[in-house]
């Protein structure tokens, strides 16, 4: 019996000692990992062009536990973020200087967005963000934006008071905008892959801070325009309504709103989806392209000018569908004309030429943007199919009917 009891005590110690050791490590912090109150989670990274070919790098990191900042002294900061910046010949050197000036151990694994100034994007995006792609300390799943009309540093400085933090606000804004607005942000990994791809050009959203929005310390990011790239250089912008045409031509419609006049009434449509078909025909003068776009949507509101207009059948919806198709056709043509003027194939039509017309692609590949896409004849055909509401104009819903 005594031997059994002794054996049980020995076995118990063998189990309890590792458990207690593990609990102790949990309470005191893991080996080699900085404690939370000394870790600065970088959520925004700003890149600007500085003099003499240098880079100005700005970071916004979450203020850990609201602790006071030794560099500033005084009471604990109420701002959700700490902003630091440095200038150097290489972004990595600037980040090392920021790390050296801060008592925090910078953690770059949670960067929510990268903001690049127009000037730097015009000079070339790749040199500025190449270090992120090569380093395991950064995530290329971050959103990338072009600061339109102001510096990236200014955007981050203005967003310092955003609650819960600017990184979370901007990430939420990006997700919302892809489903509701004409602005279409992309992630850094997507932009970098498109820069390296033949027959396609990158795009992402322009942005600034709109201090007139929000209440108290909470401001809002204003997303404005679609940035067009040729290679890794910013060459132009698409704004409404051309941006809506770009969305339709690239199968990116999702809950966007279109307002038009039909049958003597102002009608508001919700554009739900778009599907495109691209056919390339080889001719003696080069490739010709037919772009067919099919859009599905529904009527969400209407302002009656004449009374009693029915929306109960497909026949009644046909005039609205025709007018919507005409409006979207014009928007797509404007987007195409702007992109061709900037010599940037942001519709990825080069991929279709490569697959459907290899002889012309072989001849045009080296100078696709300038000699191929810029002069490519494109014929646009848009069809719109609206969901019948099954109601008269007065019954669409009192909350949505204007009087």
Identify which has the larger pLDDT, 392 or 327: 327
The 3-class SS string of 210-267 reads ECCCCCCCCCEEEEEEEEEEECCEEEEEECCCHHHHHHHHCCCCCCEEEEEEECCEEE
- pLDDT tens-digit map of 16-41: 445 444 444 444 444 444 555 577 88
3-state secondary structure of 161: helix
119 has pLDDT over 70: yes
- pLDDT band for 391, please (50, 70, 90 cuts): low
Identify which has the larger pLDDT, 160 or 87: 87
396 has pLDDT over 60: no
Mean pLDDT for 149-167 is 90
The architecture of the domain spanning 242-402 is 2-Layer Sandwich (3.30)
Please tell me the distance from the alpha carbon of residue 182 to that of residue 238, in angstroms, as a whole number.
10
Task: Kindly give, in sequence order, each residue whose CB lies less than 8 Å from that of residue 216, ignoring residues fewer than 6 positions away.
Answer: none
Distances (CA, A) of 43 to 59, 217, 307: 8, 18, 54
Distances (CA, A) of 374 to 6, 172, 225: 87, 36, 21
Please tell me the distance from the alpha carbon of residue 61 to that of residue 58, in angstroms, as a whole number.
10
Domain boundaries, given as residue ranges, for the chain: 36-238, 242-402
Residues 368, 350: contact at Cβ < 8 Å?
yes
400 has pLDDT over 50: no
């Amino acid at each position: 019996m005594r031997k059994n009891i002794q054996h049980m005590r020995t076995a118990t110690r063998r189990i309890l000692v590792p458990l207690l050791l593990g609990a102790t490590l949990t309470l005191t912090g893991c080996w080699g990992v900085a404690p939370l109150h000394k870790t600065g989670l970088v959520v925004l990274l700003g890149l600007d062009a500085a003099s003499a070919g240098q880079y100005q790098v700005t970071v916004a990191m979450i203020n850990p536990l609201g602790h006071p900042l030794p560099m500033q002294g005084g009471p604990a900061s109420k701002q959700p973020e700490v902003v630091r910046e440095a200038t150097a010949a290489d972004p990595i050197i600037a980040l090392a200087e920021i790390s050296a000036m801060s008592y925090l151990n910078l953690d770059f694994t949670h960067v929510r967005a990268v903001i690049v100034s127009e000037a730097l994007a015009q000079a070339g995006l790749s040199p500025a963000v190449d270090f992120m792609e090569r380093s395991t300390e950064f995530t290329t799943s971050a959103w990338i934006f072009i600061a339109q009309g102001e510096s990236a540093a200014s955007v981050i400085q203005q967003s310092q008071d955003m609650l819960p933090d600017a990184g979370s606000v901007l990430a939420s804004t990006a997700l919302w905008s892809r489903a509701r607005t004409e602005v279409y942000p992309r992630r850094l990994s997507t932009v970098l892959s498109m820069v390296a791809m033949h027959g396609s050009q990158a795009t992402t959203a322009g942005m600034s801070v709109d201090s007139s929005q929000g209440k108290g310390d909470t401001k809002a990011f204003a997303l404005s325009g679609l940035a067009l790239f040729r290679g890794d250089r910013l060459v132009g912008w698409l704004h409404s309504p051309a941006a809506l045409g770009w969305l339709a031509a690239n199968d990116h419609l999702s809950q966007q709103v279109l307002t038009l006049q039909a049958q003597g009434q102002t009608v508001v449509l919700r554009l739900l989806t778009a599907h495109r078909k691209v056919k390339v025909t080889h001719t003696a003068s080069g490739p010709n392209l037919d772009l067919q776009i099919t859009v599905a949507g529904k009527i969400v509101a209407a302002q009656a000018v004449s009374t009693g207009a029915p929306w109960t059948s497909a026949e009644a919806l046909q005039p609205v569908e025709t007018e919507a198709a005409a409006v979207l056709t014009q928007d797509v043509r404007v987007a195409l004309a702007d992109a061709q003027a900037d010599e940037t194939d942001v519709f990825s039509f080069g991929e279709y030429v490569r697959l459907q017309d290899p002889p012309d692609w072989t001849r045009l590949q080296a100078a696709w943007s300038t000699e191929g896409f810029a002069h490519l004849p494109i014929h646009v055909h848009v069809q719109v199919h609206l969901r019948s509401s099954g109601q008269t104009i007065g019954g669409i819903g009192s909350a949505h009917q204007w009087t």
